[in-house]
Structure 1
Amino acid sequence: MERDFQQLADLYKTALLNDVLPFWQKHSIDPQGGYFTCLDRTGSVYDTDKFIWLQNRQIWMFSMLCNRLEPRSEWLDIAEHGAKFLAKHGRDAEGNWYFSLDRSGQPLIQPYNIFSDCFAAMAFSQFALASGQDWAREVALQAYQNVLRRQNNPKGIYNKAYPGTRSMKGLSVPMILANLTLEMEWLLPQETLEQVLKATVQEVMTDFLDQNLLYENVAPDGSHIDSFEGRLINPGHGIEAMWFMMDIAERYAPRSVRSNNLDLINQCVDGVLNTLEFAWDQTYGGIYYFLDIKGYPTQQLEWDQKLWWVHVETLVALVMGYRLTGRAECWNWYEKVHDYSWNHFADREYGEWFGYLNRRGEVLLNLKGGKWKGCFHVPRSLYLCWQEFEKLDRADSSQNKSL
């Protein structure tokens, strides 16, 4: 692949603005409030339940584009449509965010972990910034305080583990908290920002990263546990966490790592590259969903599936890593993952991207959205890759002018 950065920027821009966003704008808006996410290949609704993660992610997506791209009224209207629905129906009496609602907004599943709160804080922070609504700012801050309060016990009363026998913590909480905190930079006191970013970077890069691979679960002290959960590698999570860390290192490195941010970035790139070497399917191509660090069978029967979010987050990590370090290995892997992703996930007939492939790369579920896939990973990654390639093109142009 020729390194025509502007051509690649145009590819991602066109896919975002002319394909993926219009798909969700056309098919996902529920006139009764909120969004439909269970959409088949053509965009028809096959289930009307509303999952809080995906509702908030769509609010975030359209709000973020208003803030960072252009303040289009139709984007703000879509974000407000979801925000008003969730502000009314999304939380219990204590302010904890449910997992899912029925179409009308009645709760279906209890607030059994803090990830609904994480995405609520992200969504309402960006919506408050886009709309100037004070009530949205308050919703965002309340959700963020929930996350901070519950981060060490994310499932609370819904935790099924017997206490004290095999305590462990998961990568999901610090990686999401790191990204969320950077997202909410405009709303948070400087002291909170510094403190949380420093702690989350330290935890991800010290407790979970070992031999340039990120473990999904470790003991509270960061040591390894020889069990299904303790040996689990989730390549997509690990790679996504690494670009979160790179983003922090570039945009807002805590004081403790600011002087060494290039070292941190290179450590993250090493993590991305090593994960790809470990998790790339040498027979059929693509990135495995789950693996065991010792090569044992995983608990997850879907371990060899190829998922959309794993691949698009990898594209972001590789382009970002290449721009920040210029390392040739990033570009070599980018070409490989780009070709696989665009050839297997993008649906050129009906638009948007498929989510689930079998190991051979064949479409496994003929859908564009469901309980876990919504208007988030694909459009966010298209936007970020577009922006990364624009930066690379500008740097290239500046360098050529100076010669």
Structure 2
Amino acid sequence: MKTITEIKKEMLTTIRDYIIPFWLDNSVDTQYGGYITSFDENGKFDGNGIKNIVTQSRMVWGFSYLLDFAKEEDKARMNEAARQGAEYLMDQFWDKEYGGFYWLLNRDGSIADPSKLTYGEGFGVYALAQYYLTYGDKKALEVAEKAFDLIQKYSTDTYRGGYYENVERDWSLSPAGAYAGDRKSLDIHMHLLEAWTTLYQATGKEIHKRKLQESWDIIKTYMINKEDGYGLNQFDLYFNQIPAINIKRTWNAERETNETIATPTNTTSYGHNVELSWLADHALNVLGSRAEDDSEILIKFLDHALAHGWDYENGGVFRDGVGNGDALVTDKEWWQNFESLTGFLNGYVMTGKSKYFETFASLWEFDKNNFMNYEVGESRQLLDKKGNPLVSNIGNPWKGIYHTGRAFAECIRRLSALEK
């Protein structure tokens, strides 16, 4: 097994010399503003100019949060890439009539889908709060707080708790069924936890702290199996678990995929659970307090993934399974396998147990050798069980710098602390 220092060096080289330069060189849309994110396996723009608020926000976040990991000669370009992206969010994506961020724009800035998905609104908050933290832009923080306030006003279920999944342009609730007007999901609430963490770091305001704590309490109370350590998927408005369907306007519905689950099923995502483990640990650290059982729950997520979602034959993390049963989908997607790097390494930081570091180190070898396309500078999207490419594109309307860049940044920070 490689040492902490050896892995840190490999990761630093990867983010500094490959990930950041690829997106700096290729993603900034110099014609219309914002970012183009759709690139084929050779790193060439594939013509899909759709701009999704989620990915556009993640690019702003990436060019802000990852600044410390860029080469010195790239930092001025990072600043400019983030600035123009933040301006694009606040100008083109912001709905001047109803407030909030549109869901989709065409490349030229015309509206493709004006809906206000809670997931996308949260990422707008996340991006602009981080942009403020890095570059000190007060306008960005004002817009982030304004978006937060609109979510609290229109997307909060004040009767039953938590947040509605999808709302339309005028903030009316979306239809039931495939548009999720009658559903809540762990995915939405986990990423709002992430957004409120960064917003509270930016403002220090009590309301943001309270909503951050509330988000974790909702997840912990209704959305996970605390005894066995895995996340549930979808719920009715009263948090009763219901079989998960493909909800329109989500990655699950729009991904290019190999294996699918045709019948609605109570699935769990192993990579999502491991991601939640470290995101919740970070949120609780920012809050400065945790309940007696919080850390135990977060470690159980890792143990469940190791028991049911880890491929002991080929390496890597499977996509989906059911509770404590076998994996149902055994292909491997980039985001689960990069977020799990941070999750397992964070488990080692939390506990000092070597099995989490060993899993992290093994996963890094798998990701490096199978997902990373070093000739281009980014990760492939999807592999089969044995690690062979199924979808080799480098970017799409859902895939940007966020999962890979964040995994390297978070791991390098933890590895640096462990070195000391």
Instruction: Please state which band the TM-score falls in when normalised by the shorter chain.
Output: 0.7 to 0.9
1:160 aligns to what? 175
Identity of counterpart residues, as a percentage?
A: 23
Post-superposition offset of 1:45: 0.8
Give the Cα separation in 1 of the matches to 2:214 and 2:175: 27
Post-superposition offset of 1:186: 3.7
1:94 aligns to what? 98
Unpaired runs of at least 5, structure 2: 157-162, 245-262
Measured at CA, do residues 22 and 264 of structure 1 come closer, stay the same or move farther in structure 2, by a change above 3 Å?
A: same
- Partner SS state of residue 346, structure 2: helix
Q: Deviations 1:273-311 (Å, cap 9, x if unpaired)?
A: 21232122455443222223375997xxxx333111001
2:391 aligns to what? 365
Post-superposition offset of 1:95: 1.4
Q: Is the 8 Å Cα contact of residues 239 and 275 (structure 1) preserved in structure 2? A: yes
Measured at CA, do residues 230 and 253 of structure 1 come closer, stay the same or move farther in structure 2, by a change above 3 Å?
A: farther
Q: Is the 8 Å Cα contact of residues 12 and 386 (structure 1) preserved in structure 2? A: yes
1:76 aligns to what? 79
Of 346, 358, 373, which aligns to 1:320?
A: 346
Aligned residues: 383
Q: Which moved more, 1:371-380 or 1:229-238?
A: 229-238
1:217 aligns to what? 234
Q: Is the 8 Å Cα contact of residues 118 and 166 (structure 2) preserved in structure 1? A: yes
1:342 aligns to what? 368
Letter in 1 for 2:233: E
Post-superposition offset of 1:380: 0.7
1:16 aligns to what? 15
Q: Deviations 1:8-59 (Å, cap 9, x if unpaired)?
A: 2221111111111001111111112111100122321112222221111111
- Partner SS state of residue 30, structure 1: coil
1:43 aligns to what? 43
Measured at CA, do residues 360 and 6 of structure 1 come closer, stay the same or move farther in structure 2, by a change above 3 Å?
A: closer
Post-superposition offset of 1:166: 11
1:116 aligns to what? 120
1:400 aligns to what? none
Q: Is the 8 Å Cα contact of residues 245 and 265 (structure 1) preserved in structure 2? A: no
Give the Cα separation in 1 of the matches to 2:184 and 2:322: 17
Q: Is the 8 Å Cα contact of residues 122 and 184 (structure 1) preserved in structure 2? A: yes
2:405 aligns to what? 379
Q: Is the 8 Å Cα contact of residues 175 and 181 (structure 2) preserved in structure 1? A: no
Measured at CA, do residues 251 and 297 of structure 1 come closer, stay the same or move farther in structure 2, by a change above 3 Å?
A: closer
TM-score where L is the length of structure 1: 0.87
The alignment status of 1:193 with 2:208, answered yes or no, reads: yes
Letter in 1 for 2:10: L
Give the Cα separation in 2 of the matches to 1:204 and 1:158: 22
Q: Is the 8 Å Cα contact of residues 133 and 202 (structure 2) preserved in structure 1? A: no
- Partner SS state of residue 103, structure 1: coil
Give the Cα separation in 2 of the matches to 1:38 and 1:337: 26
- Partner SS state of residue 205, structure 1: helix
The alignment status of 1:279 with 2:279, answered yes or no, reads: no
Measured at CA, do residues 78 and 297 of structure 1 come closer, stay the same or move farther in structure 2, by a change above 3 Å?
A: closer
Mapping of 1:214-293 within 5 angstroms?
A: 214-225=231-242, 231-254=266-289, 257=290, 260=292, 263-282=293-312, 284-293=314-323
Give the Cα separation in 2 of the matches to 1:275 and 1:297: 10
Give the Cα separation in 2 of the matches to 1:13 and 1:248: 25
Give the Cα separation in 2 of the matches to 1:198 and 1:68: 30
Q: Which moved more, 1:38-47 or 1:63-72?
A: 63-72
Q: Is the 8 Å Cα contact of residues 274 and 344 (structure 2) preserved in structure 1? A: no
Q: Which moved more, 1:370-379 or 1:350-359?
A: 350-359
Letter in 2 for 1:40: D
Letter in 2 for 1:193: H
Post-superposition offset of 1:106: 0.8
- Partner SS state of residue 364, structure 1: strand
Letter in 1 for 2:17: N
Q: Is the 8 Å Cα contact of residues 278 and 342 (structure 2) preserved in structure 1? A: yes
Give the Cα separation in 2 of the matches to 1:288 and 1:236: 8
Q: Deviations 1:46-77 (Å, cap 9, x if unpaired)?
A: 12222221111111111123479889322111
Give the Cα separation in 1 of the matches to 2:17 and 2:236: 46
Q: Is the 8 Å Cα contact of residues 347 and 356 (structure 2) preserved in structure 1? A: yes
Mapping of 1:121-132 within 5 angstroms?
A: 121-132=125-136
Post-superposition offset of 1:366: 2.4
Q: Deviations 1:124-171 (Å, cap 9, x if unpaired)?
A: 1122233333321221111222333314223124633269x9954210
